[in-house]
Amino acid sequence: MSAKKILMVVCDGVSDRPVKQFEGKTPLQVARTPAMDAVARNGVSGTMDVIAPGVVPGSDTAHLALFGYDPYKVYTGRGPIEAAGAEIPLVNGDVAFRCNFATSDDHMRIIDRRAGRIRSGTAELATVLSGMKIEDIEVIFKEASEHRGVLVLRGPGLDHRVTEVDPHREGAILKARAESPEAEKTARILNEFVAKSYDILSKHPVNERRKKEGLHPANIVLPRGAGSLGELEPLTQRFGIKCAAVAGVTLVRGICRMVGMDVPDVEGATGGLDTDYAAKADAAIGLLEDYDLVFVNVKAPDIAGHDGDFRQKVLAIENIDMMLGRILESIHEDVVVVLTADHSTPVIVKDHSADPVPVAVSGADSRIDDVRAFDEISAASGALGRIRGVDLLPIVLGMANRSSKFGA
Ligand code: ZN
Ligand code: ZN
């Protein structure tokens, strides 16, 4: 019995609820998806509570679960994941934050949390922030996608247990407070950093230019999601498998790196609605030659879900189906194909929800149930039943003949 390779395709936030105006169907039910349906038809389907029943997953915790890690044990805040995604290697004792470039008035009141959704110039802004020292702490700062950035504080005596600065709406910025005595210094440094970011950025040429163009300046940084490095045994060691990922979004790329995947850059894979699906397919096909597990994340359905745009979501699904079809066509050996989502992002909710997601798994000698289509409703009658996210990878490894015996 030879070990098989695994292809895991995660359609980010694809899972949905029925929508009245569309005959009470979900986007997955409306979209034309011959490749996805083939996976369901040739294997077993089920539904999955990615974290636990009734829990609304974030993309970060969800992906940890999909890779077989209990997010309640390993999750230390979003900062370290963003840092990994931005390719800032963390060392023990670092505290990392996820940040927004935002717009503040002269009284430290936020008037735009995303600085007019700034898309260019953030690299220049990041450069002037990075490298400064506050007391004996080194500041490392790097831009991330769109209006986001990553802050890493490095030096003695730091602790991630600090409250957020980001008010999460327009209004006065909050002062970071220590949630434990060990974090007093971190809170002080963090507040100092935010004040300095305003002093430095409000005079920066990028912002002078933005003001002239009538755009909101990115004149302050709002850190949140403080965390420090958790211990994560890489997949290579845990399961003895070589893994690679095709993903455009910084956050997802960060998690993939944290669990020991190789994450090559794929030209055109933007993590947006305009991502190059064919390029992603070709990258996956190439990686399947050298790796035991190839993971593909496509962010577009989640974006459409957040925008509450049913038609856009259907389009994203059909594009993913083309991508999947292109991959399936060129796979010659027997590969176990896993198709699922990291969470639901229903268009009527415009955010993530606790609804379970559909999952389908097929391989040449896999069992076959009666499910003929890949969608939320069809999947619920499948042979996999209702599983938890953390159980998915072990199940798939079993189907790929990669599990070891427990007992004699
Ligand atoms: Zn997601
Ligand atoms: Zn989302």
Instruction: Compute the distance from residue 272 Cα to the ligand 1 centre, in Å.
Output: 12
The reply to whether 408 falls in a domain is no
Q: What is the DSSP string of 14-47?
A: BB---BGGGTTB-HHHHS--HHHHHHHHTEEEEE
> How many domains is the chain partitioned into structurally?
2
**Greater confidence, 101 or 167?**
101
Asked whether residue 138 is domain-assigned, the answer is yes
Specify the residue for token string 């597990």. 293
Same domain, yes or no, for 208 and 255?
Answer: no
Domain boundary among 227, 253, 284: 227
Same domain (yes/no): 151, 260: no
Domain final residue pick, 200, 227, 254 = 227
How far does residue 302's CA lie from ligand 2's centre (Å)?
Answer: 5
Query: Is the domain of 246 the same as that of 334?
Result: yes
Kindly state the tokens that stand for 377.
């409703």
C-alpha of residue 183 to centroid of ligand 2, in Å: 30
pLDDT band at 56 (very low <50, low <70, confident <90, very high): very high
User: What's residue 83's pLDDT?
Assistant: 86
Other residues' Cβ atoms within 10 Å of the Cβ of residue 119: 10
List, for residues 242-299, the tens digit of each pLDDT value: 999 999 888 899 889 989 999 999 988 877 888 899 999 999 999 999 999 999 999 9
pLDDT band at 7 (very low <50, low <70, confident <90, very high): very high
Using the 3D structure, point to which of 190, 208, 227 is the last residue of a domain: 227
In a domain, 219, yes or no: yes
Q: Are residues 32 and 159 in the same domain?
A: no
Residue 405 within any structural domain of the chain: no
- Residues 259, 220 within the same domain: no
Instruction: List the CATH number of the domain containing 329.
Output: 3.40.720.10
How far is the centre of ligand 2, averaged over its atoms, from the C-alpha of 78 (Å)? 14
* Residue-wise DSSP of 278-316: HHHHHHHHHHHHH-SEEEEEE-HHHHHHHTT-HHHHHHH
Answer yes or no: is pLDDT of 230 > 80: no
Domain identity same for 200 and 300: no
Residue 406 included in any domain: no
Are 161 and 243 in a shared domain?
no
How far apart are the CA of 157 and the centre of ligand 1, in A? Answer: 34
CA of 61 to the centre of ligand 1 (A): 9
Distance from Cα 394 to the centre of ligand 1, integer Å? 21
Say what the pLDDT of residue 270 is: 79
64 CA distance to ligand 1 centroid (A)? Answer: 11
Same-domain pairing of 32 and 149? no
What's the confidence (pLDDT) of residue 346?
A: 98
Query: What percentage of the chain exceeds 70 in pLDDT?
Result: 100
Cβ < 5 A residues, ion ligand 1: 12-13, 59, 302, 342
Domain holding 114, by residue range, is 82-227
- Answer yes or no: do 63 and 88 share one domain: no
* Ligand minimally distant from the alpha carbon of residue 303: 2
Whether pLDDT at 71 is above 90 = no
Any domain includes 407: no
Each residue of 311-364: pLDDT tens digit? 999 999 999 999 999 999 999 888 999 999 999 999 999 999 999 999 999 998
Structure tokens at 175: 């002062």
Condensed to tens digits (0 to 9), the pLDDT of residues 94-129 reads 999 999 999 999 998 999 999 988 988 999 999 999
Predicted TM-score of the model (pTM)? 0.79
Ligand 1 midpoint to CA 316 (Å): 14
Residues 241 and 379 in one domain: yes
Strand ranges (E), 85-132? 95-104, 109-112
Q: What is the pLDDT of residue 256?
A: 93
Cα of 343 from ligand 2 centre, angstroms: 8
- pLDDT interval class at 302 (50, 70, 90): very high
Ligand that comes closest to the CA of residue 349: 2
Check residue 322 and give its pLDDT. 97
- Cβ neighbours of 217 (radius 10 Å): 24
| CA nearest to 272, candidates 294, 301, 230, 243 | 301
Q: Do 249 and 387 lie in a common domain?
A: yes
Model confidence at 81, in pLDDT bands (50, 70, 90)? confident
Which pLDDT tens digit goes with each residue over 29-43? 999 999 999 999 999
How many angstroms is it from 318 CA to the middle of ligand 1? 18
263 and 188 within one domain: no
